[in-house]
Amino acid sequence: MCRRKYLCAFRRLDVKMISPYFTESAAGVESSDTMGKINTGGIRGLRSRVLKSEDAAVGVKAEMHERSVTDAQTPAEPVSNSNATTTKGKANNDQAPLRSPRKPRRGHVKVEYEEEGVGPKRERWEPCDWRTQLSFIREMRSKRDAPVDQMGAETCYDAEAPPEVRRYQVLISLMLSSQTKDHVTAGAMQRLRERDLSVNAILNMDDDTLGKLVYPVGFWRTKVKYIKKATDLIKREFGDDIPNTVEGLMRLPGVGPKMAHLAMDIAWNQVSGIGVDTHVHRISNRLGWTKKETKMPEQTRRVLEEWLPRDLWSEINWLLVGFGQQVCLPVGPLCSMCLNQYTCPSAHRSSPKKMKAGSPKSPNRLTSPTPRVKEEPSDVPAYCSPSQRRRKPTPKDVSEKELHTKSACTEERGTEGKTEAPGDDREGGPSLPRERHRGKRRTKASLPHNA
């Protein structure tokens, strides 16, 4: 009887409650296998399941409250109650703004590097009309008749000597050419070649003999010391041959960047940089081939290598050196003969200034037919000083003039009028120079009388 009562009670609960927990429990009660388990703890199991369902309902209610709060903070869109699926999708989408909004990330900047990988790629600067200017310089240098073409470092070595000796002679000619004219350097190299210009010959030669051979190149005493030290270093560390790198050449005493780059080009036939001397430095600044005026040749070299194409580095030295020797001179450049006079920013600025007509140095000096002679005023004595001539004549000056006229007349007649001068001087009081002069005369005239 008791079992049947329990079954009837559970069946009524199953009809009244729609929860899945109760349906499962009712199905379990009907089975005969689980009858004993339900009988022992059925009420407690039902209570725990009811509590769990209440907790789930509370969680759902809290979640709906949070959604309502977030919807109040953000502008809500009108939602129709007819379509339930649309409401569900929007509810899922509204869960995303619960997180704190992040700031948009900055766009990545792409950095491109040059081939060498030194720094960021920049737009290369180039001077205006440099190609036109260079073509005009080539045209003016087409004859190759400048001193550097005939007596430069490329012509001073012995073409029949061994390769290492030729390279050594090129280096010596470059060391001697600093601050020296090309014809002086060529003469010194000719004398050295007559004495077998080689590493061993220079080391066996004393300083006095070497100095006599290279004289009169500029700073010949200092260059003799540098040549001896550089030759000794070549003998000890480089095997009787000059170094084949710019760094090795600059280790030699007396060799700078210009000589190193020229030696690499002429001796080793390798273009490592631009050899910038005083001509290249001056002309580059005059043509505006530098962003701003440079003070040293090394600064000019760096600026030129930034924009000038590498295939022109070997040509630019001899072009500008010969151009500077013939046309673009250091003092008084011949701008009127230059083809770049209309594109050069320094044209006619350093040219000799034209003399004004009538100036003493002008060849077209205007000469008047009758020479102008400055006449002295008749009332000013001729023997007065310039300060006395500027002031107005006084009666005292008139009496001095009469006295001077009387003394001149007495000297012409051969009379001894000098003895009268002291009395007249006391009365008239002549000027200081005249008084000294008369005092000397009086002393000479009075010597026989006192004797």
Peptide bond into 216 cis (omega under 30): yes
| Cα–Cα distance, 95 to 67 (Å, whole number) | 8
Sequence-separated (6 or more) residues with CB below 8 Å from residue 305:
273, 274, 313
- Token pair listed for 255: 């060799």
Among 374, 371, 399, 402, which residue's Cα sits nearest to residue 386? 374
Q: Which residues pair with 113 in a beta bridge?
A: 120
Active-site option among 228, 258, 291, 353: 258
CB atoms within 10 A of CB 401: 18
DSSP element (H, E) containing 30: helix 20-30
Question: Helix (H, G, I), strand (E, B), or coil: what is residue 120?
Answer: strand
| Cα–Cα distance, 232 to 378 (Å, whole number) | 85
Among 264, 279, 294, which residue's Cα sits nearest to residue 179? 279
Among 391, 387, 389, 384, which residue's Cα sits nearest to residue 430? 384
- Token pair listed for 388: 């006395």
Q: Is the dihedral of CA 182, 185, 190, 196 positive or negative?
A: negative
The DSSP output letter for 420 is G
Q: Which residues pair with 120 in a beta bridge?
A: 113
b (16+ CB within 10 A) / e for 157-180: beeebeebbbbbbbbbbbbbbbeb
- Token pair listed for 168: 């050594």
Give the distance from CA 114 to its chain's centroid. 21
| Cα–Cα distance, 315 to 323 (Å, whole number) | 12
Question: Is 406 one of the catalytic residues?
Answer: no
Which residues have a catalytic role annotated? 258
